[in-house]
Each structure stands twice: as C-alpha cells, then as structure tokens.
Amino acid sequence: MNIAEFNAAGKRLKELLILRFSPIALRVLREGDVFPEKCVRPSQCGIGALAMCQAFSKVRREKAHLVMLKEDHWCLWPLVSYGMIAEELIDPEELGTKLFVRDPQQGVDYFKSAYPRLDNGARPPVIGFAIAPLEECTFAPDLISVYCRPAQIRTFQMAAKFQSGKMLDLLLDPVDSCVHSTIPVLNGKDYNITFPDPGEYERALAGEDEVIFTLRAEKLAEILGGVEFLSNAGFGYAELRMDMKAEFSRPQFYNDTYEKWGLPTGKTWGE
C-alpha cells in the first residue's frame, strides 16, 4: 500500500466501525532516517516530554503528528523495549521488581527472559518512532493501533478470523500497555489486543471501556476487507441491532440442522 492507500483505509475504518478516534499509524525510525513531513518532537515544540501513551492520546484525540526520540519520552518502559537505551545501562535487578509481581525474583526473571523487546536484527539502531493519524499520516507505517469499544474489537476479531481461519493468540498483561500493544506486532505478530494500563488510564485519558487493537501494516488491506465483508453481510459493528425475541428467525442451515437432529424448526431469515 502506498501512503494515499493507507490514508484512505484509515478513513474507511472510521466509517465502518464508527470509531470515535483516529487509528494511529506508527513507523519505527532508525539511524539515518529522515523525520516524516509534519511530524514534530513534543519536547522541542512547547508540549514537553510525554509518556508514549500520552503521545498516542495526542495523536488520536488532537490529530497530532509526532516524532518520539529518547529525549521526548517521560516513561522509561518504551526506551527499554524499543532499544533506545544501551543495554549496559539497564538494571534488570531493579526494573524487574517494578512489574507488579509479588515475588521480586519472578519479576526479575520475567524481565530478563520475556519482557517485550524489539527484535531489530541487523538493521541500524532504533532512534525513536513517528506517529500520526492513519488517515493523515505522511509515511508508510509499520503498524496501526486502534482504540476501540469491546464491540468494535469483536468486529476486528471476526474479520481476522474470517480472513485467516485462525483464532487470535493473545497474552494479556495489565501493565505497560504501550509496549505490549506494539512490540509483539513489530516483531511479526499479525494482530494484538491490549487493555490500557493504569498509567494510560490516569495520565493519557484512556476510557474504562477502551481496548487497543494493533495490527501489522501489511495486514491492513486484509483486515479492512474482512470488516467490509462483515458489514455487507449485516454483521458489521454498524449493522448489528439489539432485538431480543424468543424463537427468532434464523439462517436456513439452522433449520436444516435442527431437522436432522429431530428438533423444532422455525422461520428463516427474510420470512
């Protein structure tokens, strides 16, 4: 997809899912990369240093276009996970005890072995990332992050399952939502679901009814196609309607199956 196609897909997702906020486009920046057009650093344009979740909030709520280098971060966890701090400066014995795990050693072991870290491979070192509303971004993103209601997440899940034939494989952590939502996807996972953590709730205006759906940029056309299919079939977020009735009309295959099982049949859709 080119940038114009990414922009169009962002607008279409907002329409189909009636999203309150813009999907967020994120691109990892490495040494030698040029900052995307329109993107500014919050620490240098009068905003001040931000937590990553606050930067995301500025993008989705205010349509900000930002570049976040290490000096722009007011929260240490993305600096660790994105590799913006030299490994020898990171103290696992200290940070591993700050992950809300009762046994300090278990926390340290988890931090050392399983805490989300960007797999940068042989590519140039990471210096930060650019973020912007998907429908307005001036760069091709690496991932898209969408803040949704649970019912909108359900549509995303149905679209992913429709296209892949697979259930989403999830690991849900109640803290550090900034890195748990993004790093697994940057490392190759197609889709991810994350709950905003306490800090994101307190300091980045994440609502109690919001959940984060994140996808690799390469999967955007596929997921949009699945959402379009569900919408056309009457199963999209905007098309579903509450209507609680006993012995409601059902698809024909329900009646066919019930007849085989010796159970009562009823009206089919459209009758």
The predicted model gives 210-220 an average pLDDT of 98
pLDDT at 271: 79
pLDDT at 99: 95
Within 10 angstroms of residue 113's Cβ, the number of other Cβ atoms is: 9
* 173 in Cβ contact with 181 (< 8 Å): no
Supply the mean pLDDT for the chain.
96
The predicted model gives 40-51 an average pLDDT of 97
pLDDT at 268: 95
The predicted model gives 59-69 an average pLDDT of 98
pLDDT at 65: 98
pLDDT at 270: 82
The predicted model gives 38-48 an average pLDDT of 97
The predicted model gives 20-31 an average pLDDT of 97
**β-pair type (211-216, 126-133):** unpaired
pLDDT in tens, 110-158: 999 999 999 999 999 999 999 999 999 999 999 999 999 999 999 999 9
pLDDT in tens, 163-177: 999 999 999 999 999
Its pTM stands at 0.94
The predicted model gives 3-7 an average pLDDT of 98
Domain ranges of the chain: 3-241
* 224 in Cβ contact with 9 (< 8 Å): yes
